[in-house]
Structure 1
Amino acid sequence: MSADQIGFSLLMLAVLLYAGKWVRMNWRPAQQLFLPASILAGGIGLILGPGVLGALMRLVGGEDAPMAQGAIPESMLDIWSDLPGLLINVVFATLLLGVPLPKWKRVWSLAGPQLAFGVTLGAGQYVIGILIAALILAPFFGLPLMAGALIEIGFEGGHGTAAGLQSTFADLGFEDGADLAVGMATVGVISGIVFGIILINWGVRRGKSAVLDKSVDSIPHHQRRGLVAEDERPMSAGGMTVRSESIEPLTLHFGFIAMAILLGIGILEGMTWIESVTWGAGEDGIELLGAVPLFPLAMIGGLIVQQLLTRFDKHDLLDRDLMVRIQGFALDLLIGAAIASLSLTVIADNFVPFLLLGVAGIAWNVGMFLWLAPKVIPKYWFERGIGDIGQSMGVTATGLILMKIADPDNKTPAYEAFGYKQMVFEPFFGGGLITGLALPIIYNFGPWPLFGVMLALVVVGIGSGLFYFGRLKQEP
């Protein structure tokens, strides 16, 4: 694999992303579903690849037909399939960079109800998934019990987490799991937006919304196309904290990200060494931490870098807005590459298990929103809960999209509470430590220890929400 091949593959991926944006601007169904251009780009790449175009050409003209392997060469797909495992470290390293830690009392009172709700959603995805895997998928379809983690990896974690766990799936003998997880993430994003918009319209009609009196059909056309109105466009996507003749701000922020990732690597190496001389030593040792991916530890590295900057940087060199732009850039490339290199054969071969897990995950999240959110979140439950339901099915960006639709003028504390909740939630679920440890735990100890812990978290989440957080006096 040469540097020229890698460079050309990146150029073609960028062209696909532009094509995805063009589709978003001009195809009405994509506008109605608020589909990100990166998902559309990945879909275009998937159609042009061996799984769709190639299969069609082979069906018509045989194995020797023109473009029998699709319009995208296998070497390019190989490069694209490796990109997510690298880019996910950038995405997670930026999560807490530039985010000052708020006072714990404020976090507890405002985000506590949503944390109880979010933990219930996330832990419940493991409970439901493990039950389906143990009772149906393993005995009747021969899938590994690790399939029980696919709902949380795909829904809470999203494309980045699913693709980032590719090497972990392979190391544990479940190579098809990576493609199933990416497919599950696609189902999660689309269903999160679709069901989120349905729920918003339902909430408006039933008087559940505190701020909306019109359906989402009233959203401006330019917003549906994913455009910023000309008179609303900001002058800059981030702050210039340094003068460019000394160093470009983008370069400086990439350095912060690099330090966070390197700290994550150091933490992982240290953890692996400790394991190798303790419980992992010898032929009968148990390897648990060796299968943990880097990206949740890169997030911890980002937290360390942020705390060091808060303590010692007197010039406020790190700009959060610019860090978010870098994160978005990496995430767009990651999602496009992950979907375009997805193996449709794997999903087709496991279609019934895939369908069972997807339907169960959707039912759990929607059911908890309708039943639990009003009881747990004492004020503005609809606007705040819709963000959690979007995030629990289609990652953080989906939650933000739904909150923007449900509370367009930011009249409720939904954004603030959601942000505080994510600071506590993300280090563990949705690509955090629990997500990283779930597969090796199931592989080494079976599904029931993890099932028991997650079931206990569901009970704690529901109990604390109903009997404590739901009765708190809500901060304004």
Structure 2
Amino acid sequence: MAFLWIGIMLMLGVFLRAKVRFFQRILFPASLIGGLIGFVLVNAGWLGAPSTQGWKVLDQAPFGLLTFHLFAFSFVGIGFLETARASDSSKVVLRGALWIALLFTMMFSIQALLGKGIFSGWAALFGGSFETVNGYLLGAGFTQGPGQTLAYATIWEHSYQTANAINTGLAFAAVGFLVAGLVGVPLALYGIRHGWVSCKEGSGLSRALLCGLRDDVDRPACAYSTTHPANIDSFGFHLGLMAGTYALAYLVGVLWTLYMPKGLSGLGFGMVFFWGMLVAMGIRKIMVWTGSIRLLDDATCHRLTNMLVDFMICSVFMGISLKSLEDVFLPFSLSIVVATIVTLGLCVWFGRRCPEFGFERCLALFGYCTGTAASGLLLLRIVDPDFRTPVAVEIGVMNVCLLFIFDTTITLAMPHAPNPSFPLLWIFLGLAVVLPVIVYFLKMIRKPAF
């Protein structure tokens, strides 16, 4: 029933995006609109399911569980996607991807330090029964999105008994999406008016982008069929392949939990999204070696992954318990405001001094550092609707850079944050100091261009 309610909220979001000008002006996706409405309804106790005993009210728990699995399942789809190789990319794309990757990791570190610092400072000055370590989740919620934040918080609650980590982490991630829209869209429009964009003649907002629905004459193909429908539908084949892969990832989580040392065993289920991506990448390699890669359609994997993300974003909001945030509401709100101002300031400062396509990269970075990659692409489409700049490609290539640079360090370190002997604070401080220096020595800081 929770899954069905998410679908209902998504349809309500689609309708409101198509009819309400306010949502069109700020480019709120249907998943965000539906999620906000669902958040109000579920916290008011108005959502439920009919049963033989009458109306059964739903709480936030099933929505949080759905968020976890939708996120992990989407990473299976990401693992099956054909990614751009660094050797195939131009020098400009590689430089832009590295610029985004380095600053993305720096921003994670700074946001996490701000959240932890504000939570600790508030507890010292005014007291409170909340866990100050949950402040680190600000960085995860803003930069890595709800799924990965939920993975960290789940490990914290199960392995370290950190109170209210899941709810706080989901709240940070949900508000991050709001920040991406409420701040990022006006920033994009401001840049267009002041001539900061590279493709001035092509910047603007199409009708389809505004209302979120396409016309009869604007209906591009969705995917290609790789199986015969008399045997199995192509979408059914891809979904079945993803489901089987997720089952293998779940098995990896079970084995990891059973046989790894106590300090690492908690990563088993908390990192199931990572295991899913690795298993999917391995299966894709096997399909290449065996010549059966023709059965895997990249566009279908994209559609299924994006669908899972839409459902996940909506479920994030519906999985937040407003009552559980009462004790931490003031430091939580303060950290959101401070992080938004700092993130915006740093993105604009570095974007102005970027070697090329500074404003486009600034917008993509801000969207990525407050929402997800989808948020960055959405903001980029406002100023570069036809993707004439290479920034959209850079967003994809930057994930390769992240995998082999510093973000992996954070991903492996965050699960151990509640351990008082773990030097997470020094890791974040080191990254926050070293990464801008690296950007400078790579000659990615030049005279302001806008």
The TM-score range, normalised by the shorter chain, is 0.7 to 0.9
Residues 267 and 77 (structure 1 numbering): CA distance in 2 closer, same or farther, change over 3 Å? closer
Report the Cα offset of residue 405 of structure 1.
0.7
- The residue matched to 1:258 in structure 2 has which SS? helix
The equivalent position to 1:146 in structure 2, one of 133, 137, 151, is: 133
* Structure 1 residue 428 displacement after superposition: 8.6
Change (3 A) 1:313 1:130: farther
Take 2:123 and 2:224, find their aligned partners in 1: how far apart are those partners?
Answer: 51
For 2:34, the equivalent position in structure 1 comes to: 41
2:399 pairs with 1:413: no
AA partner of residue 183 (structure 1): A
Residue 224 in structure 1 maps to residue 210 in structure 2: yes
Structure 1 pair 428/32, CA: closer, same or farther in 2 (3 Å)? farther
Q: State the alpha-carbon separation in 1 of the partners of residues 169 and 349 from structure 2.
A: 27
**Corresponding pairs, count:** 435
Kept in 1, the 8 Å contact 2:18–2:211? The answer is yes
Call closer, same or farther: CA 1:105–1:327 in 2, change over 3 Å: closer
Answering whether residue 47 of structure 2 is matched by residue 79 of structure 1, we say no
Q: Does 1:366 align with 2:341?
A: no
Q: Check if 1:161 corresponds to 2:148.
A: yes
C-alpha distance in structure 2 between counterparts of 1:461 and 1:51, whole Å: 45
Q: CA RMSD in A?
A: 3.0
Q: Are 2:6 and 2:311, in contact at CA under 8 Å, matched by a contact in 1?
A: yes
Would you say the 8 A contact 1:259–1:301 is kept in 2?
Answer: no
Residue 9 of structure 2 is matched in structure 1 by 16
- Aligned 8 A contact 2:154 2:165 in 1: no
Residues 1:176 and 2:164 aligned together? yes
**1:125 counterpart residue number:** 111
Counterpart-to-counterpart distance in 2, 1:260 and 1:198: 41
- Contact in 2 for aligned 1:13/1:336 (Cα 8 Å): yes
Aligned residues of 1:292 and 1:437 also touching (Cα < 8 A): no
Structure 2 runs not aligned, ≥5 long: 48-53
Residues 279-318 of structure 1 show CA distances to partners (whole Å, capped at 9, x for unaligned) of x3xxxx6766357331122222222223333333345221
Report the TM-score, using the length of structure 2 for normalisation.
0.86
TM-score (norm. length: structure 1)? 0.82
Tell me the residue number matched to 2:78: 95
SS of structure 1 residue aligned to 2:396: helix
Distance in 1 between the 2:124 and 2:276 partners? 33
Whether the 8 Å CA contact 2:153–2:169 is kept in 1: the answer is no
Contact persistence 2:192–2:200 (CA under 8 A): yes
In 2, distance between residues paired with 1:450 and 1:31? 41
Could you tell me which amino acid in structure 2 is paired with residue 189 of structure 1? F
- Which structure 2 residues correspond to residues 190-229 of structure 1 after superposition, within 5 A? 190-212=178-200, 219-229=205-215
Taking a change above 3 Å as real, the CA distance of residues 46 and 292 of structure 1, as seen in their structure-2 partners, is closer
**Does the alignment pair 1:434 with 2:410?**
yes
Aligned with 2:227 (options 242, 247, 250): 242
Aligned-partner Cα distance in 2 for 1:220–1:208: 19
Quote the offset at 1:327 in angstroms: 1.3
Deviation at 1:323, TM superposition (A): 0.9
Separation of aligned partners in 2, 1:267 and 1:433? 21
Cross-structure match for 2:368: 391
Identity score, percent:
23
> Partner letter of residue 184 of structure 2?
G
Between the aligned partners of 1:346 and 1:460, the Cα distance in structure 2 is 37
Aligned partners of 1:12 and 1:203: how far apart in 2?
A: 38
Q: Any idea what SS the aligned residue of 1:385 has?
A: helix
Aligned partner of 2:369: which letter? S
Write the deviation string for residues 184-226 of structure 1: whole angstroms up to 9, x where unpaired.
22211111122112222332333321113698xx523332111
1:435 positional shift: 4.1
Give yes or no for the alignment of 1:305 onto 2:291.
no
1:88-127 CA-to-partner distances (Å, cap 9, x unmatched) read 1111111231223513473744422222222222222222
Query: 8 Å contact 2:287–2:293 — kept in the other structure?
Result: no
Distance 1:393 1:76 in 2: 27
Residue deviations 1:208-249, cap 9 Å, x none?
A: 21113698xx52333211112321102x32111222222221
Partner of 1:189: 177
SS of corresponding position for 2:296 = coil
CA offset at residue 470 of structure 1?
A: 1.1
Alignment correspondent of 1:60: none
In the other structure, the counterpart of 2:420 is: 445
Distance 1:357 1:99 in 2: 38
1:72–1:471: structure 2 CA closer, same or farther, 3 Å change rule?
A: farther
What is the alpha-carbon distance in structure 2 between the residues aligned to residue 304 and residue 344 of structure 1? Answer: 41
2:242 aligns with 257
SS at match of 1:443: coil
Distance change in 2, residues 1:223/1:471 (3 Å): closer
Code of the aligned partner of 2:72? N
**Do 1:293 and 1:436's aligned partners in 2 also have CA atoms closer than 8 Å?**
no
- 1:169 Cα offset (Å): 4.2
Deviation, 1:353, is 1.4
Q: Alpha-carbon deviation of 1:141? A: 2.7
SS in 2 for 1:94: helix
User: Distance between the aligned counterparts of 2:312 and 2:231, measured in 1?
Assistant: 31
Residue 135 of structure 1 corresponds to which residue in structure 2? 121
Alpha-carbon contact 1:166-1:175 (below 8 Å) kept: no
Q: Which amino acid aligns with 2:40?
A: I
Deviation at 1:453, TM superposition (A): 1.3
Alpha-carbon separation, structure 1, partners of 2:403 and 2:134: 22
Task: Say whether the 8 Å CA contact 1:209–1:383 is kept in structure 2.
Answer: yes
> What per-residue deviation string (whole Å, max 9, x for no partner) do you get for residues 245-277 of structure 1?
22221122123323442443344445445532x
Which residue identity is paired with 1:442? A
Deviation at 1:452, TM superposition (A): 1.2
